[in-house]
Amino acid sequence: MSDEEDIDLSAIDEALAGGCGGLFGRDLLRLLDLTPAEFTLVLDTAAAQKAAWAAGKRDQPCTGDTVAVILEKPSLRTRSSFEAGISRLGAHPLVMSDQNSAFSRGESVQDTTLVLERFVDAIVLRTFAQSKIEEVAEWASVPVINALTDEFHPCQGLADALTIREHKGDLAGLKLAYVGDGNNMAHTYLELGALAGMEVRIATPPDFAPLEWVVDDCREAAADTGAAIDVGCDPVAAVDGADVVVTDTWTSMGEEEEHDTRLKAFEGFQVNAALMAHAADDAIFMHCLPAHRGEEVTDEVVDADCSVIYDEAENRLHTQKALLSLVLGAA
């Protein structure tokens, strides 16, 4: 992108004209909190802001705002992308993690949230149960953004959707295969696909299927977008002809004690060159990271030309910037 004329800022202009597309003041606890149009608006805004930033147009639309980033689990990408993105918006990131997290002293969710919101304009939270972030959102009068729970990782979903769009064009109709654990990322891809009108195929061992209520919600959402949802246990059938092949760790944060039994249970679910050979010739490989090389994916796949893992990581920053500027009313 060489000069300002090349940058499509129309998404941002439209969002401003329409009060940030109705996203001002809103929470994002899971992707299905967004309508398909709102989901597209976040991606369009992210693409426009990304191009503008690359061209040297460095607006700081959230100057004076403060955003709390509370991390009750470890993080590399989420912490650094939120901290950098919030700074780029001109706002102050108030990062609290581990034993210094806002909730680590045992104060009630009510007291913690009602105090915190006196100081900050939005709350970003990584925690365990989805019910906890739902409780925070019930108390908070400022927007609450899910930075990963046991059930969902919507910010990763936004980054991945932008990455797929950059590499494959329109999302509608694309075939996405997820092979591995029916975890927060599997749920997030089901929701992403349902919103975007994609064909999502999930393959997990029988005892590690996605939660039924999430699948039901996605099938209902898919009825409006033309998406197709298939949940099964056959990695080859899932990957057959896929445009996008995705996996995630077999042992999520909080499940470390199950690591050895999980290694056995997931035999046959590794994404390796033999499995990728069933995908479309121009398929891309994705992983939210951290990857456990040699477990859910082999080096030959994660380091192949078709792997877009570092683009995914970078797009965390762009999509979260877009989301924050929309919910803060500053896009």
Rule CB under 6 A: which residues touch ligand CP? 75-78, 148, 156, 288-289
Closer of 11 and 78 to ligand CP (Cβ) = 78
Q: If binding is defined by CB under 6 A, does position 270 make contact with ligand NVA?
A: no
The CA-based dihedral angle spanning residues 273, 277, 280, 283, taken in that order and rounded to the nearest 10 degrees: 0
Q: If binding is defined by CB under 6 A, does position 249 make contact with ligand NVA?
A: yes
**In this structure, what DSSP letter does residue 183 have?**
S
Q: Which of ligand CP, ligand NVA, none binds 183 (CB below 5-8 Å, type-dependent)?
A: ligand NVA
Please say if 248 is a catalytic residue. yes
**Residue of the chain from 146, 163, 252, 315 that contacts ligand NVA (CB under 6 A):** 252
Q: Which of ligand NVA, ligand CP, none binds 76 (CB below 5-8 Å, type-dependent)?
A: ligand CP
Please say if 92 is a catalytic residue. no
Please say if 299 is a catalytic residue. no
Determine how β-strand 175-179 pairs with β-strand 199-203.
Answer: parallel
- List beta partners, residue 201: 177, 230
- For the purposes of burial, counting CB atoms within 10 Å of the CB of 176, is it exposed (0-12), middle (13-18) or buried (19 or more)? buried
The stretch near ligand NVA (CB under 6 A) out of 112-120, 131-139, 248-256, 313-321 is 248-256
Phi, psi (degrees; rounded to nearest 5) at 300: -60, -30
Whether the bond between 205 and the residue before it is cis, its omega within 30 degrees of 0, is no
**Residue of the chain from 49, 184, 204, 320 that contacts ligand NVA (CB under 6 A):** 184
Q: How far is the CB of 248 from ligand NVA (least distance, A)?
A: 5
Q: How far is the CB of 118 from ligand CP (least distance, A)?
A: 27
Please say if 126 is a catalytic residue. yes
Q: Which of ligand NVA, ligand CP, none binds 102 (CB below 5-8 Å, type-dependent)?
A: none
Please say if 118 is a catalytic residue. no
Within 8 A by CB and 6+ apart from 328, the residues are 24, 62, 65, 89, 91, 121, 122, 143
Q: If binding is defined by CB under 6 A, does position 179 make contact with ligand NVA?
A: no
Other C-beta atoms within 10 Å of 316: how many? 26
Please say if 44 is a catalytic residue. no
Q: Which residue has the tokens 């729970």?
A: 149
Q: Which of ligand NVA, ligand CP, none binds 149 (CB below 5-8 Å, type-dependent)?
A: none
**CA dihedral sign of residues 166, 177, 193, 134:** negative
Phi, psi (degrees; rounded to nearest 5) at 221: -65, -35
Closer of 20 and 148 to ligand CP (Cβ) = 148
In the complex, which residues of this chain contact ligand NVA (CB under 6 A)?
148, 183-185, 248-249, 252-253, 288
Catalytic sites, residue numbers: 126, 153, 156, 248, 288, 316
